[in-house]
Amino acid sequence: MHNSNDKRTCGDALGEPSLIAVTGLAKDYRVYDKPEGLLASVTGLFHRTSRLVEALKGVSLTVGRGEFVALLGPNGAGKTTFLKLLSGIITPTRGTARVLGHVPWERADDFRRRFALVMGQRNQLWWDLPAAESFRLHKEIYRIDTPRFERTRDELVDLLGVRPLLLQPVRELSLGERMKLELVAALLHEPEVLFLDEPTIGLDVVAQHTLHTFLSHVQTERQMTVVLTTHYMKDVAALCERVVVITHGDILYDGSLGDIVDRFTTHKIVTLDLDDTPSHERMAGFGFPYEIRGPQVILRIDRARIADVLPDILRSQSVRDVSVEDVPLEEIVAELFRSGESPATARFAEALP
Amino acid sequence: MKRYASIFATFARACLVRDMTFRVNFLLECVTSIGWMSMNLAFYLLIFTFTPEIGLHTGWTREPFFAFVATGLIINSIVQALFMPSAEELTEMVRSGGLDGVLVQPLDAQFLLSMHRVDFSAFANGFIGIGLLAWAIVRMDATPTPLAWLLYPLLIVCGVAILYSLVIMLAAATILMGRNQSLYDFWFYLTNFSRYPAEIYAGPWGSPLRTLCTFVIPILLVVNVPARVIAMPLEGQAVGMVLAPMIAAAASLALSRVVFLAAISRYRSASS
Tell me the pLDDT tens digit for each residue of A244-270. Answer: 999 888 998 899 888 887 777 788 899
* Rounded average pLDDT over A66-89: 92
* Rounded average pLDDT over B226-246: 87
Contacts of A110 in chain B (CB under 8 A): 106
Element (H, E) at A29: strand A20-32
Q: What is the ipTM of this complex?
A: 0.76
Q: DSSP secondary structure string, B13-37?
A: HHHHHHHHHTHHHHHHHHHHHHHHH
Maximum CA extent, chain A: 79
For residue B37, give its domain range. Answer: 2-265
Q: Which long-range contacts (CB under 8 A, 24 or more apart) does A209-215 make?
A: A210/A160, A210/A161, A210/A176, A210/A180, A211/A179, A211/A180, A211/A183, A212/A238, A212/A239, A214/A159, A214/A160, A214/A180, A214/A183, A215/A183, A215/A239
Are B75 and B164 in contact by the 8 Å Cβ rule? The answer is no
* Residues in contact with A271: Cβ distance below 8 Å, sequence separation at least 6, in sequence order: A296, A297, A298, A299, A322, A323, A325
Q: DSSP secondary structure string, A172-235?
A: GS-HHHHHHHHHHHHHTT--SEEEEESTTTT--HHHHHHHHHHHHHHHHHHT-EEEEE-S-HHH
SS3 of A300, please?
A: strand
pLDDT of residue A217: 92
Tell me the pLDDT tens digit for each residue of A217-234. Answer: 999 999 999 999 988 888
Task: Kindly state whether residue B171 falls inside one of the protein's structural domains.
Answer: yes
Amino acid, res. A233: M
Task: Kindly state whether residue B231 falls inside one of the protein's structural domains.
Answer: yes
CA–CA gap between residue A69 and residue A61 (Å, rounded): 11
Contacts of A122 in chain B (CB under 8 A): 96-98, 100-101, 272
Are B164 and B83 in contact by the 8 Å Cβ rule? The answer is yes
CA–CA gap between residue B249 and residue B252 (Å, rounded): 5
Tell me the pLDDT tens digit for each residue of B22-40. Answer: 888 888 888 888 888 888 8
CB atoms within 10 A of CB A254: 18
State the smallest CA–CA distance between residue B187 and chain A in angstroms: 24
- Kindly report the pTM of this predicted structure: 0.80
Contact B272 A198 (CB under 8 A): yes
Number of domains forming the structure of chain B: 1
* Rounded average pLDDT over B137-144: 88
Are A313 and A319 in contact by the 8 Å Cβ rule? The answer is yes
Tell me the pLDDT tens digit for each residue of B146-202. Answer: 999 999 999 999 999 999 999 899 888 888 776 666 666 777 787 888 888 988 888
Domains annotated on chain A, with CATH: 12-262 (3.40.50.300), 266-326 (3.30.70)
Are B104 and A87 in contact by the 8 Å Cβ rule? The answer is yes
Are A2 and A234 in contact by the 8 Å Cβ rule? The answer is no
Task: Kindly state whether residue B270 falls inside one of the protein's structural domains.
Answer: no
* Residues in contact with A213: Cβ distance below 8 Å, sequence separation at least 6, in sequence order: none
Contact B107 A91 (CB under 8 A): no
Contacts of B106 in chain A (CB under 8 A): 109-110, 112-113, 141-142
Among the partner residues B97, B98, B104, nearest to A88 by beta-carbon distance: B104
Searching chain B, which residue's CA lies closest to the CA of residue A111?
B106
State the smallest CA–CA distance between residue A87 and chain B in angstroms: 7
- A5 pLDDT exceeds 80? no
DSSP state of B212: I
State whether residue A204 sits within 8 Å of chain B by CB: no
pLDDT of residue A262: 78
pLDDT tier, A349 (very low <50, low <70, confident <90, very high otherwise): very low
Task: Kindly state whether residue B219 falls inside one of the protein's structural domains.
Answer: yes
Q: Calculate the average pLDDT of chain A.
A: 85
Q: DSSP secondary structure string, A268-288?
A: EEEEEEESS---HHHHHTTSE
Contact A119 B272 (CB under 8 A): yes
Residues of A numbered 19-78 whose beta carbons fall under 8 angstroms of chain B's beta carbons: which are they? 29
Element (H, E) at A111: helix A109-112
Task: Kindly state whether residue B272 falls inside one of the protein's structural domains.
Answer: no
Q: What are phi and psi of A89, to 5 degrees?
A: -70, -40
Helix locations, A302-353, DSSP H: 306-316, 329-340, 345-351
